[in-house]
Amino acid sequence: MRSFFAKFKFFGIVLFIISAVIVALFYNALQPKKILPIYQPAMVNFELVDSTLQHVKKYHTIADFSLTNQNGKTVTQEDYKDKIYVADFFFTTCPTICPIMTKNMASLQEKILDDQEVMLLSHSVTPEIDSVPQLKKYALEKGVRDSKWNLVTGDKKQIYELARKSYLAVKTDGDGGKYDMIHTENFILVDKERRIRGFYDGTKPEEMEVLLEDLETLKSSYAK
């Protein structure tokens, strides 16, 4: 009799485990999949958006560009073709938020080092100061891997327009200077279609965790 009940008890435990697994699978299957928004200029703080685009509600993408990286190489949108990338704006002599942002970007770099789908792109907002030698010095100091992360300089008007009209990431300096800009702490997640999929505070480690999670979500959308 005891043997019978022992077998029944074992069968009940096994059945309970199988049922729990089935319920968990159904629950996960029924959960809505996370989908990242596609940011448009009208969705972003107007201070960060050029006045000509503040009304735009669809079809926004990053414009073509041609800039120079830390190795003196010309970098264009073709170098980021079919890539997901994280962009930001900085300058090498910035004493406040830039060192923190660069440290967090370097941490991201280590996480994506072997990921062929993902790259990084940092734009100088003081290209008149950040020459190629200056960027190279900074890159060496901060551990920049050339194959993953471009620090770029170039024509100030082009960088200003990219910042204000494409990445929606900087403010004007307010003193009337032409093409002068105040960069924000934002890291911008860009998909393979050159659309903005997320903004993150580049000074906060917890925001980097959110960015990494969103990066996986975005990558999974291309895995179908």
Count CA atoms within 13 Å of residue 192 on its CB side: 12
pLDDT (0 to 100) of residue 9: 56
Tokens 């960069």 belong to 183
Q: Which two tokens stand for residue 173?
A: 């300096």
Residue 151 has pLDDT above 60, yes or no: yes
- Is 183 annotated to bind ligand? yes
pLDDT (0 to 100) of residue 8: 53
pLDDT (0 to 100) of residue 179: 84
What is the CATH T-level fold of the domain 41-221, as seen in this structure?
A: Glutaredoxin (3.40.30)
Cα angle at 166 between 147 and 123, to 5 degrees? 40
Higher pLDDT, 79 or 181: 79
Main-chain phi, psi angles of 17, to 5 degrees: -65, -45
pLDDT (0 to 100) of residue 178: 75
Lowest mean pLDDT among 95-99, 159-163, 177-181, 200-204: 177-181
Mean pLDDT of 200-214: 97
Higher pLDDT, 30 or 112: 112
* Amino acid type, 76: T
pLDDT interval class at 175 (50, 70, 90): low
Mean pLDDT of 177-193: 91
Of the candidates 151, 137, 83, 141, the residue with the CA atom closest to the CA atom of residue 112 = 83
Sheet holding 149-152, edge to edge: 149-152, 118-124, 84-90, 186-190, 196-201
pLDDT tens figures, 11-62: 556 555 665 545 444 444 444 467 999 999 999 999 999 999 999 999 999 9
Cβ distance 130 to 94 under 8 Å?
A: no
- Is 123 annotated to bind ligand? no
Residue 224 has pLDDT above 90, yes or no: no
Reported pTM: 0.84
- Is 94 annotated to bind ligand? yes
pLDDT (0 to 100) of residue 15: 54
Higher pLDDT, 69 or 17: 69
- Cβ neighbours of residue 208 under 8 Å, at least 6 residues apart? 104, 107, 108, 200, 202
pLDDT (0 to 100) of residue 16: 56
Main-chain phi, psi angles of 158, to 5 degrees: -65, -45
Using CA of residue 69, residue 130, residue 140, residue 182, what is the dihedral sign?
negative
pLDDT (0 to 100) of residue 19: 55
Determine how β-strand 66-68 pairs with β-strand 118-124: unpaired
Mean pLDDT of 142-152: 97
pLDDT interval class at 7 (50, 70, 90): low
Lowest mean pLDDT among 17-31, 99-113, 166-180, 193-207: 17-31
